[in-house]
Amino acid sequence: EVQLVESGGGLVQPGGSLRLSCADSGFTSSTYWMNWVRQAPGKGLEWVAIIKQDGSDIHYVASVKGRFTISRDNAQNSMYLQMNSLRVEDTAVYFCTGGEGWTSSYWGQGTLVTVSS
Amino acid sequence: EIVLTQSPGTLSLSPGERATLSCRASQTIGNNYLAWYQKKPGQPPRLLIDDATTRADGIPDRFSGSGSGTDFTLTITRLEPEDFAVYYCQQCATAPLTFGGGTKVEIK
């Protein structure tokens, strides 16, 4: 069973960087596509990025292309989101998700990223 | 990019009533790869329906999905108190994956 736990959120100034991590304590996420999905305060869900099981296929939402990098380390049952050049509008709860296809069948509890001066 | 429009924005109903939520896509969703999620405050979203019509594991049969192409519907036949939440559709066919804006089902 996939059990996802995010970490790495916090307060950062505009233009700064942050690296989010997602650990799967169920040790099965290597068989799944993995995503990052975010929800800004008072707003709806926004898909951010997806990575294939072996890392060979990656997609991003347009607003983060060139700034965010998704990666994974299956040996560590972990996935990451490196976020650079952060903007105020990147403030959100970031969820790690996974599934056999592109659907998010499994979700972590989320980690809050606040971009503010 | 496929744009998903959910309606209505808010649905005010009483427990025991039927809820019908709509999700319309700006273009055909391939293989009907359309998912529905339930979101409650302070909790992560929960997958309800996959591939437009397939209930996820453990989801009660009062939840059902229908539709194809560009028009999809989530139906909750008899609302239970725990069903009052925000519901989102997501197309999982074409990158970038996109969510609809959500429908809030509130207690009347």
Beta strands in A1-52 (DSSP E): 4-7, 10-12, 18-24, 33-39, 45-51
Select the residue of B44, B95, B101 nearest A107 (Cβ to Cβ): B44
Return per-residue pLDDT of chain A as tens, 117 residues. Answer: 778 999 999 999 999 999 999 999 876 777 899 999 999 999 999 999 999 999 999 999 999 999 999 999 999 999 999 999 999 999 999 999 999 899 999 999 999 999 999
pLDDT tens digits, one per residue of B44-96: 999 999 999 999 999 999 999 999 999 999 999 999 999 999 999 999 999 99
Instruction: Pick the closest to residue A13 from A93, A112, A87, A94 (CA basis).
Output: A87
Cβ separation of A104 and B45 shorter than 8 Å? yes
Does B3 touch chain A if contact means CB atoms closer than 8 Å? no
DSSP A55: S
CB A73 within 8 A of CB A19: no
Does B16 touch chain A if contact means CB atoms closer than 8 Å? no
Does B59 touch chain A if contact means CB atoms closer than 8 Å? no
End-to-end C-alpha distance for chain B, whole angstroms: 35
Cβ separation of B96 and A101 shorter than 8 Å? no
